Structure 1
């Protein structure tokens, strides 16, 4: 496939208004089948988001089902060969950087170097409180965590001295096998884009229209190789309207995307796999 397309994985989240009825029954085997088909068709990546414990009052808006990304992507790593495995996103404030480096470095080993770390500052204050994480000043903490991660990933004996994290004379084994694990920064503000440009390898925004994204990207100087991972919004339905799908994908590229990450409309796992084949064909045509 010439056009690089990643998939917002079905099954693993249940956001109100976006979750499709068949996903509740599909389970890990349904997801693994979809992952295997996507792997064979040449899709770039699969995603898995993170929430640990969502307060009931918040769950009505954000959903309550969030599969753990490490366990989920570890299972999918064993069922696939090429497709990348992307957290979208881990909340930096919930973890020590060495915890991420060790756990996802191990995933990088067992997957043969296919991990992409999507990372975010986080916005759910109630969850920060539940986990004993610091909410106020979380942006500065996240910036230091990103620098600490960059100093740690792929290194057996990392060391770092920053404003919030400091470590030395430690061994992290196993560690990531990629020379540079891609760090994609999530968010929806100009600050998140600046953070991505300064400390990451890509930007994966959410909740923004294409006009806003086009304007933000037009005012940014993107380094060579920097990934801009944008979504067409609602799930694509290639079999329902192929031409409309192609038009939507082209608009995302025109907005400044280097890669597209999309949800897919389906009524079953079988239908999802059929949609993937059609989407891969459209990706070849667009190039």
Structure 2
């Protein structure tokens, strides 16, 4: 199994964030990324929220979204300079918040800076208040996201992109620098059947979060004609390979059997040192396939 990391510190989620992450900064994030890079992990992630409603978090909401989200472009750009092989994954970038050409220019530049390591995890977005604050329509965001993905595919690796779609229409511009990968992977976030259909028809992979494996099998069975090389990226929270390696091996084997191809690792951890220990323990497992 190919394993990446669900990067610590970059988001603070009630009930899921360890105490040490609250005061940690870019130095700790970089240390984790460099350690993962040396151990053969495949990617680091960073999600996106521009701003969250002020009533979204309280100690009484253990399953809330949280309010702290590091900017993915700034964070991944810094980590690009601190690592050599790790793929740099947005998980996820909200399509409605950006014009496709903005994404193509900004992340195309990062792709060039990093030697072709960008993966764009993309989604339609779910926080209506965030859409409203940014002045972008919440209704109809699905069709708009589909058009944005088509526009991205037409522009990410092109010096002179051209696209004529329902919501986006452009030509006659030079985008330099642009991505050096001939095809930047586009992974679609979302656990719904609609998200999976979007991933199969427009993307290169699907990121449904952390579904139970029976649900995953059922959903994938509904889309047997997936593109060659299609990735299924599923999380597995609270893994503890240092204390329970056999249990983690069983979990990874079950995920592999269900169709998962990549896992963003989110271990049990109490400190930065413990987190690094967990990376070492995961990399030592038989089911770990190094980059």
Indicate the TM-score class for this superposition, using the shorter chain for normalisation. over 0.9
The answer for the alignment partner of 1:248 in structure 2 is: 251
The answer for the alignment partner of 1:41 in structure 2 is: 39
Shift of 1:59: 3.5
> How big is each residue's C-alpha offset from its partner over 1:74-115, in whole Å with a ceiling of 9 and x where there is no partner?
000000000100000000000000000000001101111000
Greater alpha carbon shift after TM alignment, 50-59 vs 179-188: 50-59
Question: Contact 1:250–1:286 at 8 Å: present in 2 too?
Answer: no
Change (3 A) 1:172 1:40: same
What is the rounded CA distance, in whole Å, between the counterparts of 2:19 and 2:286 in structure 1? 27
Q: TM-score, normalised by structure 2?
A: 0.95
What is the rounded CA distance, in whole Å, between the counterparts of 1:25 and 1:180 in structure 2? 38
Partner SS for 1:263: strand
1:14 counterpart = 2:21: no
What is the rounded CA distance, in whole Å, between the counterparts of 2:48 and 2:138 in structure 1? 17
Q: TM-score, normalised by structure 1?
A: 0.96
The answer for the alignment partner of 1:228 in structure 2 is: 232
Shift of 1:213: 0.9
Aligned length: 284
1:111 counterpart = 2:114: yes
Greater alpha carbon shift after TM alignment, 252-261 vs 174-183: 252-261
What is the rounded CA distance, in whole Å, between the counterparts of 2:143 and 2:11 in structure 1? 28
The answer for the alignment partner of 1:219 in structure 2 is: 222
Question: Contact 2:92–2:120 at 8 Å: present in 1 too?
Answer: yes
Which of 145, 151, 165 is 1:148 aligned to?
151
The answer for the alignment partner of 1:182 in structure 2 is: 185
Which of 21, 24, 47 is 2:22 aligned to?
24
Change (3 A) 1:283 1:18: farther
The answer for the alignment partner of 1:4 in structure 2 is: 2
> How big is each residue's C-alpha offset from its partner over 1:114-167, in whole Å with a ceiling of 9 and x where there is no partner?
000000001111100011111000000000000000000011110100000000
The answer for the alignment partner of 1:197 in structure 2 is: 200
What is the rounded CA distance, in whole Å, between the counterparts of 1:228 and 1:137 in structure 2? 26
Unaligned runs of 5+ in 2: 59-63
Change (3 A) 1:5 1:283: farther
Question: Which consecutive aligned stretches of 4+ in structure 1 deviate over 2 angstroms post-superposition?
Answer: 283-287
Shift of 1:44: 0.6
The alignment yields a C-alpha RMSD, in angstroms, of 1.3
What is the rounded CA distance, in whole Å, between the counterparts of 2:215 and 2:171 in structure 1? 42
Unaligned runs of 5+ in 1: none
